[in-house]
Amino acid sequence: LSRARVTRADERDQTRGVRTSDKYFFLYLQRGLLEATDKKNFFFFFFFYFFFSLFANQICHTDLHFIAHDVGQHSYPLVPGHEIIGVVTKVGSKATDFKIGDIVGVGCMVESCLSCSACANDEEQYCKNTPTWTYGADTRHSLHGKNQVQTIGGYSDKFVVDHRFAVKFPFAKEDFESEGEFNEVLAKCAPLLCAGITMYSPCKKYIDMVKKSRDTQSLPAETPVKVGVRGLGGLGQMGIKILSTMNVEVFAISHSPNKEEEAKRIGANHFVLSSSVTAMNKLKRDHALDIILDTVGALPSEEDASPSTPEGGSPTSREDKRDKTPSPQEFYDVAADALATHGHYVLIGLNTKPVAITGTKFIWNDISLHGSLIGGVKQTKETVDFCWKHKIFPDVNIISVRDIPNVLQLLEKGNDSTKRYVIDASTFE
């Protein structure tokens, strides 16, 4: 058992999940191999360990939403974790695309109906009969065990999954000179299964969409597509790294001036302070973005509504002194104004609050608002191969199971780091 600072669902209104440090709720961790309760489906499963020193599961901000019961789709006890990487130890007779010793990963889904139009289009995440998420969801398609049993995530040392919802990584332990180097690569690869696909999918889709639109309008093809990434947390940094290999112009958009240096280090061409109306208006005037990928799972906070100056600095010009921070109510209007004609604003962060944009913004400039949810299994495999080819990995902090409560509190307060936190599965003891 591992104790984390979370609370029962019926205490949520009073304690608001991880925000109350003196309330505890046990996360029940898997021990031993899970048994396939439906024998006829046993051979569609393969088993794999997060073995020994394997740094196997990444903490995602979505874990926090589920723990705090923000999305209301699960019950307790809850075991989070959906960026899982490990080595195959047993293989069902029909899982012929895997063998013992393969390095494999599981992302956000473990089953879908496999028969609807979305599944037929390799978009299982939009399954018309509802996909089953890796944790906190009731099984419903008989691919992940007995139906109506809540799924258990990757905060564990072992896992079982249908082979059609796993991804093979293009390397083996023998490819590395030392165990330490191998484990380090595993830790960096785990976030590709959620953060990686979450950013790769909309990057590819909307860049291709902009390029096709230019072709039909006889616009210069050589002009680089301009893409803004709002938020420089774990999703944002993956987005910037992926975009930097796609021959586009990358704009990092953040309310924190302290992240400018880091944003440019990982591949951004420009940095824009989103807490400054002047900076956002200048973005529209000087550039006009084709795409904005919004990775922030929250509205701009009221505490941002203060003069935006670098830490320890002060406004140096008359324009700076008049500058103001857009309120949560007007932020999206200001952001929409930063889009070019036919531009796309894409919501990616899991924002559970209403997003308001004045209707005329869509009409006068023909902009569009979209949402994007991870990607299908096929595209997840494409993401893994793409990132491996281009050596695109997130910066990570490796933690032990005892650090989970502190990391969850850090995420709750607003993570000021661009790094992802990866749990060393060997510490599940």
**pLDDT class of 391 with cuts at 50, 70, 90:** very high
Average pLDDT, the chain: 79
- Flag whether pLDDT at 25 surpasses 80: no
Torsions phi, psi for 355 (to 5 deg): -110, 125
The C-alpha atoms of residue 379 and residue 215 are separated, in whole angstroms, by 25
- Which among 132, 157, 158, 163 has a CA at the least distance from the CA of 147? 132
Give me the mean pLDDT over the 396-418 stretch. 78
Which pLDDT belongs to residue 427?
Answer: 79
- Flag whether pLDDT at 202 surpasses 90: yes
Which pLDDT belongs to residue 106?
Answer: 92
Query: At residue 235, what is the residue type?
Result: L
Query: 64 versus 190: which is more confidently predicted?
Result: 190
Q: Residues 314-357: pLDDT tens digits?
A: 444 444 445 667 777 788 999 999 999 999 999 999 887 888 89
The C-alpha atoms of residue 194 and residue 80 are separated, in whole angstroms, by 13
User: In the block, which residue shows the tokens 């904005």?
Assistant: 292
User: In the block, which residue shows the tokens 């096709």?
Assistant: 212
The C-alpha atoms of residue 127 and residue 118 are separated, in whole angstroms, by 5
The C-alpha atoms of residue 92 and residue 47 are separated, in whole angstroms, by 8
- Helix-then-strand count for the chain, H and E: 13, 18
Q: How many CB atoms lie within 10 A of CB 317?
A: 9
The percent of residues in the chain predicted with pLDDT above 70, rounded, is 77
Q: How many CB atoms lie within 10 A of CB 133?
A: 21
**pLDDT class of 125 with cuts at 50, 70, 90:** very high
Instruction: Report helix, strand or coil for 18.
Output: helix
Q: Where are the alpha helices (DSSP H) in 162-310?
A: 179-189, 195-216, 234-243, 260-265, 277-286
Please list, in sequence order, all residues whose beta carbon lies within 8 angstroms of the beta carbon of residue 182, skipping any fewer than 6 positions away: 173, 176
Query: At residue 266, what is the residue type?
Result: I
Which of the residue ranges 70-79, 141-150, 244-253, 295-304 would you say has the lowest mean pLDDT?
295-304
| DSSP string of 373-417, one letter each residue | ----HHHHHHHHHHHHHHT----EEEE-GGGHHHHHHHHHH----
The C-alpha atoms of residue 262 and residue 277 are separated, in whole angstroms, by 22
The C-alpha atoms of residue 162 and residue 147 are separated, in whole angstroms, by 14
Which pLDDT belongs to residue 429?
Answer: 67
Tell me the pTM.
0.82
Q: Residues 62-118: pLDDT tens digits?
A: 777 777 777 666 677 888 888 888 888 878 777 788 888 889 999 999 999 999 999
The C-alpha atoms of residue 93 and residue 99 are separated, in whole angstroms, by 10
| DSSP string of 22-37, one letter each residue | T--EEE----SPPP-S
Instruction: Report helix, strand or coil for 161.
Output: strand
Give me the mean pLDDT over the 4-28 stretch. 33
The C-alpha atoms of residue 351 and residue 283 are separated, in whole angstroms, by 24
Give me the mean pLDDT over the 374-394 stretch. 97
- Flag whether pLDDT at 57 surpasses 90: no
Instruction: Report helix, strand or coil for 109.
Output: strand
